[in-house]
Amino acid sequence: MHRSGAVARMLRMPVATLRVWERRYGLTQPALSPGGQRLYSVDDVRRLAVLKQLTDLGHAIGSLATLDMAQLQGVAATHVQAQAATKKSPRAESARLLPARAWRLAVIGAALGARLQRPGLLRWLGRPLVVLGPFDDAAQAAAALRASDADALLVHEAHLQEGWLASLDAAAPALAGLPKAVLYGYAADRVCEVLATAGTALLREPQPDAVLAQWLRALSTATLATSAQGPAVDTNALSTEPLPPRRWDDAALADIAGLSTTVACECPRHVAELLMQLSHFEAYSAECENRSAPDAELHAYLRRVAGAARASFEAALEHVALHEGLMLPSPPALGGQLVPPSARRPKPSTATQPRSRP
């Protein structure tokens, strides 16, 4: 909960204006402290931030006062789209195609927060923006926000030292999973490499508003593109049992692909070729796990998916061999196993389903 003075500083507006808004329009229902001070919630601050930005763009507070958060964001989106429709430029066309929902940006750094209120920068950004903050530091941001409140975290930092990202995540663990962007003054190359590897967007100051807006625009597009993909895949849903090793190497699979078969569609050859591709991708994903820390989880997931698919197709190849009476190579020292024609499974028909293997 925030007092009216803190809220006014976040929104870059006089406390008197905030009190007039409350008295005339009843914009929020703030709680009261034991001493009688108004206390605003995070949702109150978010709504007031949108109202402030819309009034800065020329909308009358009286016409906005009765609208809820979704309706206010709709007004902001309509404003941006109307501006884009009057301009014949690639930038305006891109703004028209952007999603209607406002981009919620948590900001650490008072100076950066003030820049994000400039009408010229907002025009260059080309989409509705809700600034959460600015906050003085990560601890203050963590106390005021939940991870679901913001789409990304923007930080202004004069100096970046080793361990800066770890300190930020430790101070605001609830925000650690948000996409991050840092406008910085000075940093060693090795520090920038660590941050870039971790997926942090970096821009060195000083930069004009147009460059800052273009950078933020690219970040917002990437952020919403990621969220539009839907929830992340639950990698824990995959079995944690160790995957079986390959049953056949490439040479054995090539021999299998060349065996004669009575199946006109040449399924044995196709299955053998798929097995080679899956085995190669499984090995490739295992190698990629060690190349980049942010990508390690993804490649571990892909390796397990490829390994599980490879094991399933190995069982399918054995089933095809049983059907065709083919001799499949076995691991060394075990010798080949001949599946006699008499043991072939009957081909399924519309009246008969294949029997399950014992």
Summarised one tens digit per residue, pLDDT across range 272-303 is: 888 888 888 888 877 776 655 556 777 777 88
The pLDDT confidence band at residue 232, using thresholds 50, 70 and 90, is very low
Is the pLDDT at 230 greater than 50? The verdict is no
Is the pLDDT at 87 greater than 60? The verdict is no
Is-contact 344 325, C-beta < 8 A?
Answer: yes
What is the average pLDDT across 27-51? 78
Strand ranges, E, within the chain = 2-3, 31-32, 38-40, 103-108, 129-135, 152-160, 180-187, 201-204, 327-328, 337-338
204 compared with 147, residue with greater pLDDT: 204
User: Whole-angstrom Cα distance, residue 108 to residue 117?
Assistant: 14
User: Whole-angstrom Cα distance, residue 91 to residue 250?
Assistant: 52
pTM given for the model? 0.41
- Which of 43-47, 95-99, 152-156 ranks highest by mean pLDDT? 152-156
Q: Looking at domain 102-224, which CATH architecture does it have?
A: 3-Layer(aba) Sandwich (3.40)
The pLDDT confidence band at residue 81, using thresholds 50, 70 and 90, is low
Is the pLDDT at 324 greater than 70? The verdict is no
Q: What is the pLDDT of residue 290?
A: 61
User: Whole-angstrom Cα distance, residue 67 to residue 25?
Assistant: 11
The pLDDT confidence band at residue 350, using thresholds 50, 70 and 90, is very low
| CATH 1.20.1740.10 matches 1-89 | no
Domain boundaries, given as residue ranges, for the chain: 1-89, 102-224, 236-343
Side chain identity, residue 163 = G
Q: What is the pLDDT of residue 344?
A: 37
Instruction: Kindly report which listed range (22-31, 65-74, 332-341) carries the lowest average pLDDT score.
Output: 332-341
Residue entry with tokens 């709709």: 74
Q: What is the DSSP string of 114-183?
A: HHTT-HHHHHHHTS-EEEEEEESSHHHHHHH--GGG-SEEEEEEEEE-TTHHHHHHHH-GGGTTS-EEEE
Side chain identity, residue 269 = R
User: Whole-angstrom Cα distance, residue 117 to residue 235?
Assistant: 41
The fraction of the chain above a pLDDT of 90, given in percent, is 10
Q: Can you read off the two tokens belonging to residue 126?
A: 């080309």
